[in-house]
């Protein structure tokens, strides 16, 4: 066979060697494939993009809902968000990793203020196990309070 004559595998032994090489190539391919898959699984496990996206959206919708309150309201947020920084900038909730300073990985979502009754307190860090309390005060300013061990840390403005 011309193909074999030109190749490195010649003679009767060559057939066995040739098949062995194919098997080895397959094993190498599968090993690389499995290692890549494991590395991907590891990075997916460490990745917090979904949590940040979820948290930003949930916070934004929570704020949208709180503006609907007909009267003074107290709300405790039931999600442990101690791993994340949260920031309210304009009409945007920004959620980032607490341990990372890389702003590129932050996730944002939009909520609507009222033009004459807006957030006047910016929440930077929520300690674990924490609750966030939202109050709509009689002075009609929406205040966000971070609550740690049932003790009010900072009441913000209002």
Site residues, another protein (CB under 8 A): 1, 3-4, 11-12, 15, 18-19, 22, 26, 29-30, 33, 37, 40, 44, 47, 49-50, 53-54, 57, 60-61, 64-65, 67-71, 90-91, 110, 112-118, 138
82, 130 in Cβ contact below 8 A?
Answer: yes
70 strand-pairing partners: none
Q: Which CB atom, from 19 or from 127, has the smaller least distance to another protein?
A: 19
Q: How far is the CB of 113 from another protein (least distance, A)?
A: 5
| Residue corresponding to tokens 């590129």 | 104
Q: How far is the CB of 98 from another protein (least distance, A)?
A: 19
Please provide residue 155's backbone torsions phi and psi, each rounded to the nearest 5 degrees: -80, -5
Q: How far apart are CA 83 and CA 99, in angstroms?
A: 8
Q: How far is the CB of 112 from another protein (least distance, A)?
A: 4
130, 148 in Cβ contact below 8 A?
Answer: yes
Q: Which CB atom, from 64 or from 124, has the smaller least distance to another protein?
A: 64
């Amino acid at each position: 066979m011309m193909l074999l004559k030109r190749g490195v595998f010649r003679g009767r032994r060559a057939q066995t060697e040739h098949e062995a090489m194919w098997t080895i190539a397959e094993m190498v391919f599968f090993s690389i494939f499995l290692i890549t898959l494991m590395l991907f699984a590891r990075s997916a496990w460490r990745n917090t993009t979904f949590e940040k996206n979820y948290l930003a959206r949930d916070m934004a919708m929570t704020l949208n809902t709180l503006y609907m309150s007909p009267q003074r309201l107290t709300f405790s947020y039931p999600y442990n968000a101690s791993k994340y920084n949260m920031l309210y900038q304009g009409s945007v909730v920004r959620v980032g990793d607490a341990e990372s300073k890389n702003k590129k990985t932050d996730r944002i979502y939009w909520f609507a203020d009222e033009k004459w009754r807006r957030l006047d307190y910016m929440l930077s860090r929520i300690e674990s196990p924490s609750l966030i309390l939202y109050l709509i005060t009689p002075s009609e300013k929406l205040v966000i309070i971070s609550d740690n061990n049932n003790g009010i840390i900072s009441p913000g403005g209002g």
